[in-house]
Structures are given as structure tokens and as C-alpha cells.
Amino acid sequence: MIRLTFLGTAAARPTVGRGVSSIAVQREADIALIDCGEGTQRQMMRYGSGFAVNRIFLTHIHADHFLGVVGLLRTLALQGREDPLHLYAPEGSSGVLRSAVRLGVERLPFEVPIHELQPEEKVHADGYAWEAFAVKHGTKALGYALSEPDRLGRFDVDRAHELGVPAGRLFGRLHAGESIEVEGRVIHPDEVVGRPRPGRRVVFSGDTRPCRSTIQAATGADVLVHEATFAAEETDRARQTGHSTTVEAAEVAASAGVRQLILTHISARYTDRPGTLEREARVVFPGAVVAYDGLTLEVPFPDESLIPAQGGSRSR
């Protein structure tokens, strides 16, 4: 299972209906955060993402993307956490993050290792990986991609029975790529196992102008979460501030051939009309969704149907 929970979807500052940037990403038992804006720990309680976070990936060191680390660390300390919590951020972020870790907490009962990442550097987890990639935001900033390795091909049980393979451990050996012998005949895996199937890939742009590196990272991805701070009418403003419009984000998604596009980091000026942003994006990328706080999305495998986004409330 890969589940995304949008904890904060506002740009720059919170609004009545939106907190600032943070997304909880759960893969099986692992939980990570993409950014941790102010008040994230409350949003985690409100939307039930849980506090068993192993890693926080910060896209860049702007206040609306990392200030929530201070409050979250204090909450975890008061809860008696003992396991390390790893922080990942672009090169040059360590000084600010060390100060944030110490702020308001005399002594943490757990370690908070800080890791500076370079573009294309990987962080390996249990059976999958996180990949950093460069984005364009006027400061050192990264996007992140969660990627899984290929899965085993489908096992043809009927064909195995036809070949005389008894159900049980021999099925497992064949599925794992091992040839077996049954009644004097050697049976090879490719006789009963299909081609490897791709794993899932979920890409998070962080704050950025549309750029080639995001397209490359997102090529063929199951989900692209891309910032869309402004409507198309504010293209000049987006360019000046290092952000993207709805249409620009949709063009990135279309160029990358992703299966689903989720737009986030929405300016407060669109609080009362998020549907306008969605309609603009859908002209270029049909099915694009503007995220809202509490939105949850489960990411299926590429050979399965997409599960509609749900949860929270669209009321702003």
C-alpha cells in the first residue's frame, strides 16, 4: 500500500481551510513527510496519518516548508519517542535545521540525524527508495520521487498444474526464479511465470518553475504531485516568484506521461474558487485534481485501476 495524505496544501501562509505544505506518505509500515510546515503535528492528528514518521524530506528551507519541524519534535518528545527521526534537505540546510531541532526543546529523547542530499542521490528504505532531483525555485531546492523495483511476474497456477507441479513450496521456488524437477522433467520459471511487472513511482515537485528535471523524474510515474500556486492569468507572477501555474503544472504532467496529477501549494487568493484552477488544468491534463487538506489517495500498481482521491472536505 502507498497512501498519500495531504496535511497542508496552502502556499506561503495558512488560510482558514488550508494549512501550509506537508504531505504524509505511507508505504506499508513506513511513514515519511514531504515538507513540514507550521502546525503539521495538529494536521497529523486531525487527519489520522499517525506519528510513526521515520523520515522528513524537506524540499527547501523556506519557512512555510520546515517551521513545523519545531512543533512536531516537541510533540514527539512529549509522547516519549525513542526512535531516530531523519531529516533530509538540500545542500546548505544543516545550520538552519540544527537550530530548529534545538528550539524549544532542552533535550530530545531521540536522535535527529540531518542529511544534506545532492540531486540524483538516493535514500534506500525497506524494499524501495527515495530519489532526490533538482528543481528550479531561485534557491537550493529538491523534488523527491518514491520508486519501487520491478515485481515478480504473475504465476500461472493452471499452467503449473498442467505441468504436474504440486501446489506448495515448489510454486514458491518457481516464482522466485528457480528451476525445479518434477518426475524427471526440469521445469523452468519462464514456463509458469510472466514478465516482471513494474513497481510504483510517485513524484513530488516541491516549489518550482516547470523544468526538464521534473519531467525526467516523473516520466511514466503513477502520480505526480506538482505545485500550482497560481492560475494561468498569473504567469508573470509565477515566473517572478519561482512558482508554477495550473496550466504549466499540467503541461509537465502531460509531457511526462503520468497517470494522475495532483495540484497543491495553492495561493490564498484562490480560497473561494479552487474549481477554477482544476478546470484550467484539466484542459491540458484531463482528470487533474486540486488537493485540499485531508485529501487521501491510495496509489495502485500500474496494472491496476486508479483509486479515486477521497477524504477530508472540499469546503474551504
What is Dmax (Cα atoms) for the chain?
Answer: 74
Residues making up the chain, counted from first to last? 316
Q: Residue 114 forms beta bridges with which residues?
A: 87
42: left (phi over 0), alpha (psi -120 to 50) or beta: alpha
List 30, 35, 64, 156, catalytic entry: 64
10 Å CB burial of residue 209 (0-12, 13-18, 19+) is buried
Pairing of strands 114-117, 86-90: parallel
Residue (of 148, 118, 281) closest to 213 by Cα position: 118
How far apart (Å, rounded) are the C-alpha atoms in residues 207 and 11?
9
Catalytic residue flag (residue 236): no
How far apart (Å, rounded) are the C-alpha atoms in residues 230 and 214?
18
DSSP state of 124: E
Q: Residue 123 forms beta bridges with which residues?
A: 130
Residue that the C-alpha cell 519531467 belongs to: 215
Residue that the C-alpha cell 502546525 belongs to: 39
- Give catalytic residue positions: 64
